Structures are given as C-alpha cells and as structure tokens.
Amino acid sequence: MSSAEPTEQTGPAARSHPQHPQHPERPQHAEHAERSPRPAPMPGLAESARLLADSTTTSTALVADALARIEAAQPTLNAFRHLRAEAALAEAADADRRLAAGERLPLLGVPVAVKDDTDVAGLPTHFGCDGDRPPVTTDSEAVRRLRAAGAVIVGKTNSCELGQWPFTEGPAFGATRNPWNTAHTPGGSSGGSAAAVAAGLVPAALGSDGAGSVRIPAAWTHLVGIKPQRGRVSVHPHHDAFQGLTVNGPLARTVADAALLLDAAAGAHPDDFHRPPAVRASDAARRDPGRLRIALAWRPPLTLTGAGPDPEVRRAVTALAETLARLGHHVEEARPRYGLIGLTFVPRATAGIAEFAARHPEPALLDPRTRSALRTGTRLGGRVVRAARAREVRQHRRIGALFDASGYDVLLTPTTAAPPPRIGTFDRLSAWRTDVTMAAACPYAWPWNVLGWPGINVPAGFTRSGLPIGAQLLGPSRGEERLIALAAQLEDDLRWYQHRPPAP
C-alpha cells in the first residue's frame, strides 16, 4: 500500500447541482468554485463519544459542526437527501443536559447519518426514488437502537433507486460524488453514507448491503464497511428485506468506529425472522486475531462477463495479502466452489426489487430499468424464488467447505474488480447493459449476501491516479468478531485513516 497521500483530483467544470436536502427539486447544473483548504477533521465516532464524556466539547457543537459541513459540501458532493437540522440541534441540546447530569451512553450526543432506505420518524423514506412520500411516523428498529445508544441522527443519505446499482445517481436527487475525485462515483447503493463519512461530514453512517452496497462504496471511498451476519442489525419494518439478501451495516474511517456503530445498532425486533446470537464488535476490535489461514481468491463467481480484476486492483490486493503474510498469517491462493450461485441470486434480487417497486405510489416515475426488474421479479417470484432460497443450505455446505474442510479461517478477495467509474458511466444504458457493466465492475461481493454471512471491506490503497481500492475479508456464519480483529490488526499496521480526501 502506498504511504503517500493521493494528489487532489478535481471534478468536471459542470456538475449536477443537487437540491437542498430538505427541499427536493429537480437537479440543475452550475459551476462550482475550486475547493477550499481542508478544515480541521471532524473527530471519529469513538473520539467524539470520549470528548463528550470528558466534557471537552458539547453535542450542540458537534452537531452544529456536522450540519455546517453537510450544507457546505452539498453543492459539490450531494451526499444527503434530507437533513434534520432543527430537530437534531434540539436533540443535541437535550444530550448536553443529560451529559451534564452525569448520564453516559455509548453514543450520547454523537452525530451520525443513516441511509434513505431507513425509516426515521418525521421524514419520508424515498429509497432513491422520485415523487412524493409522506413522512413515516415510526423509527426503524436500527434507528431506535441508535437513539437508545444516544446518537443524534442528523439526516438521511442518498441511495440509488431501490438500492439496485453500484452508483448513487438518479433524477430524484442528481449525482452523489466521490470526495476523492468528484468526477467519479462513490459507489452504491450506500454512496451517500460513504461520501459523507469519507469527506468528514459525519463521524460514521449506517448503510445497507444487498449485493455489496456497504462494501463497494467503502472500497471506493477508502473506508471500513461491515456487512454483518444476516439478522445482526434489524431491517424492521421489513422482516426479510430483498428475500434475505439485504442487511444493515456501518461505514466508518476506522475499525473501532465501525465496530462501535455496529454494537449500537445491533439487535433484533420481536418480529424479525433472523436472530443470530449477539457479538461484541468493539471488544473484537481490541483483540489479537491470532495466526490465521487466509485463502486469497482472484476468480469471481460465474457472471458470464469474463470479468477479472483490473491490474491496479490486483496490485493493491496483492500488496495487502503480502502485509497479512508479514503479520504472521498463512496466505495462499484458493478457489471457493461458488457453483451457479448467480442462478439463485437473480430471482431473489429481482423479486425483492419488485416487492419494493410495487409499493411506489407513482410507478411511472421509476427508472425504466427498475420497471424492467419489477417485471422480471414478478415472473420469478413465488415458486422460483422459493426454490432459490431452498438452495441456500446446499450453498452453505459447498462454499463453507473452504472453511470447514479446507481449514481456512478467512477468505480474501478484491471488493470490486475495477476502481470507481466516472459519474454518468451507467447513463442511458438498457437494463441488460447496466447489469452486465455492473457485474463486470463488481463481481465479488454479492455471493456473501446469498449466504447471509459476514464480510468487511478494508482500504487496500489507491490507483496511480488517486482513486481508492478495497479488499474484502469474508468469513463463515457468525464470524464477525474474527474479521473485525483481523481488520483492526491490518489498520494498526497500515494506518489507512491517516489518508484523507481533499476538502469538498
């Protein structure tokens, strides 16, 4: 991994100008001035909690700073769909009173953001779609738990339409841009959360991952992104989001911050289908992982695209594997037996899209590619999707043999096959061409959504032009703690958090 910070990259002269996050309008185009010098960095999640507990700062100051950073960056990065400025400041003032009275909670008074597929009482949940939606009246279970830990939700971040694609662009809100180079996407579908954290607008944010939607944007913005075990973080009010593919997970600049947010958000709603036993993620981030056997896999599952890793991706992930070997782990190349796992992913994914799309009050506003997925998902629903889900047990056995029979502890792969594409790469593509282009760029992440098992993106370095690259640490069922401990060991050695993008 290169030790030199990438040089500043500038975006195009004319950028999609997003709406104010509280007052949606159609995006316009405008010139943007050259970016200003970087302000002092916002403290991370754990550091913010410590400063508040020590009375070194106040929640009001932290939340006001986050809101000011968001407003300043919105014309350039367009990370947020909605802000809760007035409500968040009122909650911060209440947190300050509670802190002064001696109350202590893991995140009391700390500002965080959540993705716009997540219900926050008083705000609509657009999930990247155009059109009007009424505000919801009840927090999702994950938000309820974040509030119970004391967090102040400052707003909701942009997602592509129904979370389908590895880019965060659409007519409802414009284009969300990568802080490392605003000509490029931060990824998707949790691109708004990733852009907000990478740019230092908030200390950490919650995303969701149905085919890599936490790990892909984490890879393309130089963040830690955790896809937890299915059910670790509730998806309520949905009981089994996207036919069991989608989970909620954190994005942060450090492993400790991601683990802290995971601990705060984790836990089941009484109606949830999946209820894995609890883990202690923050404790794992302070634990030595021991000497592990790590399988390095370059070949992705069959996608019929012929995709393999870009040479710069291969170089960066190879360097990360060499770091793991230097740290004392046994690393060797291996091939997971993925089989035809894509044949079960497609019915589950499209049926999930169809379920969400069918609830849209104005279907004509949906992207033509979404309407195509709706038709496919409707055809593949029922018996086909039930058969696809029934194959999961056999897939667990076949792919799990890498851990059980072959004795590996962790699987290492690239998170994506390519660096982040330019904004507009997927514009005007048909549904089929979008799927093919997406599968070629991002063939590695989605099998772990089929399995429901945990994975973590860790920063793996940069391309020669300064674009971030990530690598996945993947584990067997309920294996978050080992993955977190290993990621923390890598972070201690590589200190990726020292590299920051230019100021937005």
User: Which amino acids are annotated catalytic?
Assistant: 115, 189, 213
Q: Which residues contact 14 (CB under 8 A, 6 or more apart)?
A: 29, 30, 31
Give me the residues paired with residue 17 across strands: 28
How deeply is 482 buried, as exposed, middle or buried, from its count of CB atoms within 10 A (0-12, 13-18, 19+)?
A: buried
- Compute the distance between CA of residue 183 and CA of residue 444 in angstroms, rounded to an integer: 24
Q: Which two tokens stand for residue 470?
A: 């990530």
Distance CA 269, CA 141 (A): 6
CA-nearest of 192, 210, 176, 42 to 111 is 42
**DSSP letter assigned to residue 489:** H
Inter-axis angle of helices 342-357 and 383-390, nearest 10: 130
Segments of 6-162 assigned E as strands: 14-17, 28-31, 80-83, 111-115, 152-157
* Residue 406: Cβ within 10 Å count: 13
Instruction: For strands 204-209 and 224-227, give the pairing.
Output: unpaired
228, two tokens: 């937890």
**With left for phi above 0 and alpha for psi between -120 and 50, is residue 34 left, alpha or beta?**
beta
CB 329 within 8 A of CB 293: yes
Distance CA 194, CA 158 (A): 10
Mutual orientation of helices 141-148 and 255-265 as an angle, nearest 10°?
110
Question: Which phi-psi region, left, alpha or beta, contains residue 397 (left: φ > 0; alpha: ψ -120 to 50)?
Answer: alpha
Residue showing tokens 């069918």? 358
Q: What's the rounded Cα separation, in Å, for the pair 244 and 246?
A: 6
**What would the two tokens of residue 246 be?**
């989608």
